[in-house]
Amino acid sequence: MKQPIGEFLATLRRANGFTQQEVADRLGISNRTLSAWERGTAMPDILLLPALADLYGVTIDEILRGERSSAEKPAIAQRSAQKIYKSKAARFSMWAFILSGMALVGLVLFYAGYYTDWNYLTYGNIEQFEWWLILLYLGAILCAVCLIVLFALWKYNDNMLDEDDAAPYRVAMKKCVAVGFIVTGIVSLGFTVYPVLRFSVTPSGYGLVISIISLVITVGLLVFGISLMRAVKKQKTVSD
């Protein structure tokens, strides 16, 4: 839709994510001058039109007409979509980092409770509900919830970005999930085998049950993470 030149310039500036001050600095003019252009109380200097058009990714003719040509509209839509994809992927990466970190905290709490009273766990002496049991269960729940939320968040965003041009961002999100699960699995594996290698002690009773469950879950985390990472590499190979 055709707009007055000032309104069109303001629309272009906002679409490109610039503030008035940023545009003014790039053009070497004052903020007040740019504001006057956008309000329509003054016209842009004809010598600055090439720089203005280049900054906004339009032609001088389009600025003077106050609208984009029909041939450019699909390109605008594509650039806008790419910005949205990039923003979603960046936000997901942030949450993936946070959730993975919280899962690791959960592992630390779990194994802190596990090692606090090694004799209780090894010989099945759990007559008292000691504080280490609270750490044990709290850590397990925190780790499990964080990994489940991470997986659910990934699947939700992956389904939201189902367009072909969003493929690179979907691959990036999948890589974040893979790294989160692999790191968590490696840390869990280290905690699981540490007492056996360090003290040459084989757990028994309740401790043996916990060790077996931990080992099974650890293997599951590693297998899932590695399979995702292999899928990421395969997708990158196909795209290249």
Closest C-alpha to 148, from 109, 183, 114, 102: 102
Lowest average pLDDT, out of 63-77, 91-105, 112-126, 213-227, goes to 112-126
Give the span between the Cα atoms of 19 and 217, in whole angstroms.
Answer: 50
Least confident of 8-12, 77-81, 154-158: 77-81
Express as a percent the part of the chain with pLDDT over 90: 11
User: pLDDT tens digit string along 187-233?
Assistant: 888 877 776 666 565 666 666 777 777 888 888 889 998 998 888 88
Joined together, the tokens standing for residue 71 give 């041939």
pLDDT of residue 124 exceeding 60, the answer is no
Give the C-alpha separation, 61 to 217, whole Å.
Answer: 63
Q: Render the burial of 172-186: b for 16+ CB within 10 Å, e for the rest.
A: bbbbbbbbbbbbbbe
Per-residue pLDDT at 102 exceeds 90:
yes
**CA-derived radius of gyration, the chain:** 28
Domain ranges for the chain: 5-69, 80-239
- Whether the per-residue pLDDT at 170 is higher than 70: the answer is yes
Predicted pLDDT at 139: 86
pLDDT at 19 exceeding the cut of 80 = yes
3-state secondary structure 118-146: HHHHHHCCCCCCCHHHHHHHHHHHHHHHH
The pLDDT score that the predictor gives to residue 46 is 87
Q: pLDDT tens digits, residue range 27-85?
A: 999 989 998 998 889 888 888 889 888 888 888 888 888 877 655 555 555 666 677 77
pTM of the model: 0.58
Cβ-based neighbours of 197, under 8 Å, separated by 6 or more: none
Residue 237's pLDDT is: 64
Are 16 and 56 a contacting pair, CB within 8 Å? yes
Quick one: pLDDT at residue 135? 78
**Structure confidence at residue 213 (pLDDT):** 79
- What pLDDT does residue 73 have? 53
| Cα distance between residue 226 and residue 147, in whole Å | 15
Q: Domain spanning 5-69 has what CATH number?
A: 1.10.260.40
Quote the distance between the C-alpha of residue 120 and its chain's center.
Answer: 41
94: how many CB neighbours lie within 10 A of its CB? 11
Please, which pLDDT band fits residue 98 given cuts at 50, 70 and 90?
very high
Classify 80-239 by CATH class.
Answer: mainly alpha
